Structure 1
């Protein structure tokens, strides 16, 4: 780092959005349609449903983009995304702060 820049460090931070659950997808490799969500160990979601789908879906299939477990997909964590900024003078903590 150059000495003149040492007082002004920069950080490029990349954050990922939370996942709302697995969805069906069209997967292809070398032009051949692959199984949607294959798993060897057959994991289960918190609702006791398989998180796998061994079917092969075409790109225009109605299942593509649909959740594997509707309950996992429709119940996101109580705090996700960016909370609204507090109003001026409001000292109460955000519900997302631990």
Structure 2
């Protein structure tokens, strides 16, 4: 009816009540590192930090754990205005090569 095989549905339903203490511990580590970075670390940075501690984890696993914990990293704000001002100031200066 929904395009899902019956066996897949029952396997999914069986997993719903199951607890995974290893995953919960890993989620807590992700939250700890995320808070230590003041919300600036994304899944790639967190993956590197966890691997450095000796945990075998991939980027997509960290991304899923971040999603489960409701964590979103801060995005850098674009510095377009500052770049525009620098470029404009560069054009306002005279030609320094012709003043030999």
Normalising by the smaller structure, the TM-score range is: under 0.3
| CA radius of gyration, larger in | 2
Work out which structure has the larger RCO, using CA pairs closer than 8 Å and 6 or more positions apart in sequence. 1
TM-score (norm 2): 0.20
| Higher helix content, 1 or 2 | 2
| Higher strand content, 1 or 2 | 1
